[in-house]
Amino acid sequence: MLFQFSDVTKTYGAITALNNLTLSVPTGAIGLLGPNGSGKTTMIRTLLGLIPVDEGTGQVLGKDFRREQLDIRRDVGFAPEDECLFPHTVGVEFVAYAGELVGMSRTDALQRAHETLDYVGLGEARYRKVESYSTGMKQRLKLASAIVHDPKMLILDEPTNGMDPGGRQEIIELSRDLAHNKGMSLLFSSHLLPDVEAVCTHVVVIAAGKLLAQGEIAQLKQVHSQSYEVRVKGELTPFAARLREAGCTAEEYADVLKIALPAGATPQLIWKTAADASEQIRHLRPQRSTLEEVFLSSLEQA
């Protein structure tokens, strides 16, 4: 188990950031989704033992986040969302210093700093002052400093915020590689659903401090047995009308019809309607929810 919360409540005055949150998350690449102000950052701070909770218990990597905060932070690498730098350092010093703060010897920290900077693609900029780095370089620098001590778990808080498409893709690829090929558990907090989908296999959706949905992305994007996507050779509108007459629900989305069959019906009904309307079906497949739909429907249910 990567981490688990049991009835965790955290308030800031009148604001309830985490509201009786109970969840249990397996190891792997985990996406943390939620709208702004949903409690994602508070949840991360709780995981790191940075804030005391009002109620509830929990564990991270088998350690109690109320009592073993320093041990947790030793085993976890964290790249915060905000732009933050150790001033007046060059790249390699920055990462080595991050390693020393975790307890690495100076020699080990410097050696690892060079390795991790090469890995994140900052090898050429290692002797430049970090203040002169671009936004994308600063994000990769934060990633390098988070993994310098080879943590068991990596937490990335909005790592692709404010980045250009190229830089964003690099961060996604690095995160994917760490989580899928290097055996490092990852908690990837973002409100950019395509990024989460590209990196993670598991997702946790929270809003107003409550758990809305949780599970493997592949399972959440389940196949709907009675819903289909259809493209035809001719016009969609008349064909949609014929389907409605046959008892289906049909809605147009760009060049696709999304069809919900009536109870007990099979896809044969669509073929028959097309034959009756002398229409050619060019594409027919069962409908699958996108992560965006999962996210939005979770929010609606809440």
Partner 1 sequence: MPVFDQGYQHWSGTLSGHAWRWLAITRQGVRVALTNRWLRIALFVSWLPAIALATALCLWGLLEQQSALIQSLRPLLGFLDREMLLDPKAYRQEAWTLAYGYFMLTELRLAMLLILIVGPNLISQDLRYNALPLYLSRPLRRIDYFLGKWGVIVAFLGAVTIVPAIVAYVLGILFSLDVGILKDTFPLLLASVGYGLIIAASAGTLILALSSLSRSSRYVAMFWLAAWLGSGVIASVLQGIEHEQRRHALGRFDRDNPTVFVDQELTAARTDWRPLVSYTANLARVGEEMLGTPEAWDKVTSLRAGPEKDMARLRNVSVQYPWTWSAGVLLALFGLSAWILNRSIKSLDRLK
User: Where along the sequence are the contacts to partner 1 (CB under 8 A)?
Assistant: 12, 15, 17, 41, 45, 48, 50-52, 70-71, 73-74, 78, 80, 82-89, 97-98, 100-106, 108, 112, 115-116, 118-119, 131, 145, 147, 149-150, 177-178, 182
Cβ atoms of residues 227 and 289 within 8 Å: no
Strands 185-189 and 29-33: parallel
**95/250 with CB nearer partner 1:** 95
Alpha carbons within 13 A on the beta-carbon side of 10: 28
Q: How far is the CB of 177 from partner 1 (least distance, A)?
A: 7
For the chain, the distance separating the N- and C-terminal CA atoms, rounded to the nearest angstrom, is: 26
Least Å from the CB of residue 43 to partner 1: 13
Closest contact distance (angstroms) between CB of 115 and partner 1 is 6
Pick the closer one to partner 1 by CB: 179 or 257: 179
Burial 131-144 (b: 16+ CB within 10 A, else e): eebeebbbbbbbbb
Our CA dihedral for 284, 286, 288, 293, rounded to 10 degrees, sits at 80
| Cβ 27 vs Cβ 2: under 8 Å | yes
CB of residue 263 to partner 1, shortest distance in Å: 48
**Closer residue to partner 1 in complex, CB, 147/261:** 147
Nearer Cβ to partner 1 (120/236): 120
CB of 174 to partner 1, least distance (A): 9
CA distance 292 to 288: 11
